[in-house]
Amino acid sequence: MATKQAHAEAARAERSEELLSPSELFHARSRSHKIPVRGQKEFLPTGSEQQKTHLQKSLQEHWTLVAEERVERLGNLVNAEWIPEEKLVKLQSPAGKFWQTMGFSHCGKQCLLPEEALYLMECGNVQVFYQDLPLSIQEGYERFLSPETVTLHQYQVFGHLKRLGYVVNRFDPSTVPSLYERQLNLPLSRDRQNKQLKRKRSHSPGSRSCEKQTSIPQEDTAVGPCEDVLTGEPHQTIQSKKEQDEPMDSGSHVDRAPERNWWTAASSQSRSMTGLPAALPWDFRLISFPDLGSSRAARTCLAAPDPELLPGALQVGECKMASWLTKLNLKEEKLSRRERERQRERDRYKRSVNDDREVRRCTNWAEYLELMKKRRRQRCKERPAHLWEKDVTPLSQPGLCTSHRELLEEVSIIQSSHLLEEASKLPQLDQWRIIFNVYQPDTVADFKKSHPGNPYTRMCVCSFDGPVPDLRVMKQLSFQSADIPVTFAVVDHGDISFYCFKEFKLPSDFY
């Protein structure tokens, strides 16, 4: 019965009539759900009968599978409507199991992104209507996929990963925690996640009215402003200065075979780089930090602050530290016996750095390192004339460096760098962008859309027709992605290959 049905369907599909009759719809429940296994291929076509029958059989199976239409129970289908103005699909009946990993709420309604809706249409879970008529899969592809939403290649990668079981959602650069937040190991706040969901709506003008109704605070809490001040290292501030790149060596017509550059967009020309470390805002030599911890502190007096720093008519005089110090706990520590023993060992064999008078004279790290360097140099004073009196002198001296790594640093002409160095100053790229976050399949059971946690990887989609990502692209994308590795999905005519680039440091120390 099932095969007869299948043959009838295939025959009808041949005549290009793809609508099933009610009896075919009814009997579709008894269709087989198995996919026939493809046998071994042969090497040469010999024209033999056996080959012909084999081929015919394979082809017939193939057409049966290809021509089969999706038939679902009406009760299993979730109804939805396509809203082209917002580029969203709004559900009209309650969502099913897919709600755990897909979709979001907007103005009280459950919504799906276009790629999620299209995937669910292909799985036979959702029926999307537009102007009261159901959309076919073809119309879904044509209407939902566009450069503003998700392109066909990106959708193919999305579908491929979802079919394997991964949880895939859209990447939003604003949800990536900054370097400072990561150093503090701050958990992703709820506001952040809600901001992500809000951001999805902010494309369309029509949704702005909805944002006022929600009770979630729009403004960032303390997390927001702090991160801008303390992002990264304070020395490399965000003041930008334009600085021209060296133009590429495209002018020289050396007789070499040309590089492969069949991609049409010749955007790999010189681009101006922005960003330059500005002058230090603070001069640490002028700022003094009084010593309030030692025994002399009781006698110190803090000078009055500069009246320019004080508000209004406030007048502050000198501050005597004695009274404040009585409030500190200056009781002597009572060490246990073991601790006393340890202290005795330390005193016998180790010498405290602070006993050295010259060290005490240093007021910061830089001076201390200078002192150490000076001492080392004094230790090896003999310098052979044939090495040191000529134009070219050695890069290092014996005894100057204490480890292989230091020696390599002394003699290295090309400084090694790491991938994220100066990556924050790179301008935004328009051709390359991270499009999806991908979460592991085994987390599906406890996956929460509000707290998805860190993704397994982030996906960037490209094709073999386009350029290979260069160092600038990789730096930019790795920086955008924070600690999560970026995977490049290359789509070639339905085949998807995944590549990722890993930073590798050559070892410079030997133990």
Partner 1 sequence: MDCERPAEDHGTRQNGGAGEGGEAAGAESEGDRERSREPRVNISLVGGTPLLWRAGDIRRVREEDGVVGALVGSLARQPRQNVRLGRPLEILQEEASLLLERGRAAVQHTHNQEDEESHVKAVEAYQSRLEHSYEEQCVLALEDKKAVLQRVMNAKQNDHTCDEGTEQAMRERLSSLQKGFTLPRSAMAVQLCTARAGFGHCPEEAAFLAADWPMPRDERSETRFRVYRDLRGRGFYLTAAGKFGGDYLVYPGDPLRFHAHFIALCLSMVEQLPLCDVLAVARLGSNVKKTVLLCSPRDSGVEGEVVYSSLQWSGMV
Minimum Å gap between C-beta 20 and partner 1 is 5
Query: Is position 121 an interface residue for partner 1 (rule: CB under 8 A)?
Result: yes
Interaction with partner 1 in 51-80: which residues (CB under 8 A)? 51, 54-55, 58-59, 62-63, 65-75, 77
CB of 220 to partner 1, least distance (A): 37
Tell the smallest beta-carbon distance from residue 97 to partner 1 (Å): 12
* Residues 162-201: x where in contact with partner 1 by CB under 8 A, - otherwise, as a string: -xx-------------------------------------
1, 97, 133, 510: residue in contact with partner 1 (rule CB under 8 A): 133
What is the distance, to the nearest Å, from the Cα of residue 352 to the centroid of all Cα atoms in its chain?
A: 45
SS3 at position 392: coil
Instruction: Check binding of 152 to partner 1 (CB under 8 A).
Output: yes
CB of 439 closer than 8 Å to CB of 447 = yes
Contact between residue 432 and residue 490 where contact means Cβ atoms under 8 Å apart: no
Closer to partner 1 by CB, 256 or 418: give it: 256
Q: Which is nearer to partner 1, 284 or 464 (CB)?
A: 464
Tell which positions 217-236 bind partner 1, by CB under 8 A. none
Q: How far is the CB of 24 from partner 1 (least distance, A)?
A: 9
Query: What single DSSP character describes residue 310?
Result: S
Least distance in Å: CB of 466 to partner 1? 12
Reading the block at residue 225, the tokens are 């402003």
Per-residue contact track with partner 1, 237 to 256, x per CB under 8 A?
A: -------------------x
Q: Are 118 and 141 in contact (CB under 8 A)?
A: yes
Give the residue, chosen from 253, 348, 493, 505, that forms a contact with partner 1 under the rule CB under 8 A: 493
C-alpha of 211 from chain center? 27
Contact positions with partner 1 (CB under 8 A) in 1-20: 10, 13-16, 18-20
DSSP SS3 for 200: helix
Pick one of 94, 108, 217, 258: the residue that binds partner 1 (CB under 8 A). 258
Q: What is the dihedral of CA 389, 394, 396, 398, to 10 degrees?
A: -70
- Taken in order 244, 245, 249, 250, the sign of the CA dihedral is negative
Could you tell me if 438 and 457 are in contact, meaning their C-beta atoms sit under 8 angstroms apart? yes
- Our CA dihedral for 181, 185, 191, 196, rounded to 10 degrees, sits at 70
CB 325 within 8 A of CB 297: yes
Applying CB under 8 A, does 48 fall inside the site for partner 1?
no
Binding to partner 1, residues 439-468 (CB under 8 A): 464
**C-alpha distance from residue 10 to each of 145, 166, 228 (Å):** 29, 33, 62
- CA dist 369 and 289 (Å) reads 20
Among the candidate windows 168-176, 206-214, 346-354, 488-496, which touches partner 1 by CB under 8 A?
A: 488-496
Q: Is 85:206 a contact under the CB 8 Å cutoff?
A: yes
Q: Which segments of 150-288 does DSSP mark as H helices, in order? A: 152-164, 179-183, 190-201, 208-211, 223-230
Q: Which of 98, 141, 180, 368 binds partner 1 (CB under 8 A)?
A: 141
Using CB under 8 A as the binding rule, the residues of this chain from 352 to 391 that contact partner 1 are: none
From candidates 22, 205, 247, 251, binder to partner 1 by CB under 8 A: 22
- Which C-beta is closer to partner 1: that of 479 or that of 488? 488
113's tokens = 């992104």
132 binds partner 1 (CB under 8 A): yes
CB of 206 to partner 1, least distance (A): 21
